[in-house]
Each structure stands twice: as structure tokens, then as C-alpha cells.
Amino acid sequence: MHVCCQALTRLLLPGYPSAMYSLAQLVSHTLEIRKSRFLACVEPCTDRAAAQARVNELRAEHPGCAHVCWALLAGGHSAAVDDGEPSGTAGRPMLDVLRHQQLDGVLATVVRYFGGVKLGAGGLVRAYTDAVAQALLQAEKIEHIPVQTLNCELAYAHEGVARNLIAELGGELLEVSHGQAVRLQISLPASAVEALQEQLLSITRGELGWEIVGAGAAEA
């Protein structure tokens, strides 16, 4: 049986706020300022690859637009893209709106059609901020709970206690196998992983196999 090292706890992702939210569905909003049109969209999105694919779709749908700016928060990762607008006037303000709303797993895009009148840096920041904020006002938020998938291995004598702890911490057993020891694959809220590891280390007196498999999210 593997002996777990306390340092493995440090492999956990950085902590999340106690309440994070995603969106139930895509919502759009159009803002017009001094003849420029800003077509904002906010929608669920799992990662950067999916975000880039969606941005490519928008470019194909709007071949005459001046810019397709976007911001992403997903799984602890972020992106902010100005797409030719002055640096820091589009993607970053959009990202700030998502962060302020405690969102995760969300992509914000704004397609801009230039109206011939320059708005200046301050005007652009306000326009991109307002476009995304107005779209979010119409969106239905759902609680977004970061989860970890992990494997642990322990002696048969501790299986019952382990199952009870997992249930108490809001976890779910994905797979159980029995060999020389019991191997459990668990899905658990990220905020509870360290507590489970510490309690199992105490119960098993360090005789615990432990492996972080991956991260994801569950909707409440």
C-alpha cells in the first residue's frame, strides 16, 4: 500500500470563493453608442478551447465587424482578449465584470461594429463593461460547485468510516474496487478535499494511498 505524503495536499487547486455561479443558458444584449454597435453575449463555457471555438463562430457570423473581444473564467483559468482594441480597454473590463459577479465556467464576448466615431480609452472601457453587465442582468445564474476527482486506497477495516466521511462532506463514490486493499474513486467538493485527506490520514495512521485525478464542477 502507498504511504501518502503530507505534501500531496499542496497539489490541490487554489481555493475558490464559498459561492460561485455559472449561467443556465446563453444570453445576449445589444448596446449602441455613438453609432457603434456592441453585440454582447454571455454563456456557459468549459475551457479555453471551447471559448476559442465559439469566438471563431462569431467571426464567421459577423465578417464585417471590427472586433470580437472576449473574456473567460473557467476552472480557475482566465483570459482577456482585446482583439485590436487599445490594450486593456475591452477584454480586461469584461473579465472584471465576470469576476465581480463571482462567475466561473462563463464566456463573455462582444462583437463590435465600428460607427465611425472614436470613443477614446475611457469610452471603450465603459462600453465593453456596460455591454457585458447588461447581458448578465438578464441571465439566470446557477450555483457552480468546484469538485475534485481523486483515488484513495486504504485497509478494509477503514472502508465503512471512509464511506461515512465522504457522504458527510458532500462527496460521491464513483467506483469501488476490492483487492489487497479497498480502492475508492471519489468526486468531492474542492473545498472538502483537504479535510477528507486529513481525517483519513488520522484514521489510517498514514497508511493511505492518495491521488488527485482531476478537477471539474457540479451545478447545484
User: Can you give the pTM of this predicted structure?
Assistant: 0.66
Which stretches of 39-117 are DSSP H helices? 48-61, 91-100
State residue 86's pLDDT score: 97
- 36 lies in the same domain as 131: yes
Residues 131, 38 contacting (CB under 8 angstroms): yes
- 85 lies in the same domain as 156: no
Nearest C-alpha neighbor of 152 from the set 190, 206, 191: 206
What pLDDT, in 10s, does the model give residues 98-120?
999 989 899 999 999 999 999 99
What grid cell was written down for 135?
Answer: 447581458
Cα four-point dihedral sign 56, 62, 67, 68: negative
- 132 lies in the same domain as 182: no
- 132 lies in the same domain as 33: yes
Cα angle vertex 57, ends 124, 134, to 5°? Answer: 40
Q: How far, in Å, CA of 117 to CA of 33, rounded?
A: 9
Range of the domain at 184: 6-17+143-219
User: Which residue, of 139, 169, 185, is where some domain finishes?
Assistant: 139
- 134 lies in the same domain as 31: yes
State percent of the chain over pLDDT 70: 88
pLDDT bucket at 7, cuts 50 / 70 / 90: very low
- Which residue is it, cell 454563456? 43
Q: Which amino acid is at 176?
A: V
User: Which is higher by pLDDT, 215 or 5?
Assistant: 215
User: Which residue, of 111, 139, 167, is where some domain finishes?
Assistant: 139
pLDDT bucket at 133, cuts 50 / 70 / 90: very high
Q: How far, in Å, CA of 73 to CA of 51, rounded?
A: 10
State residue 218's pLDDT score: 53
Phi-psi region of 157 (alpha: psi -120 to 50; beta: other; left: phi over 0): alpha
Looking at residue 162, which CATH number applies to its domain?
A: 3.30.70.240
Residues 79, 70 contacting (CB under 8 angstroms): yes
Cα four-point dihedral sign 78, 123, 131, 84: negative
Within-domain flag for 1? no
What pLDDT, in 10s, does the model give residues 176-216?
999 999 999 998 888 888 889 899 999 999 988 988 876 65
| pLDDT over 70 at 150, yes or no | yes
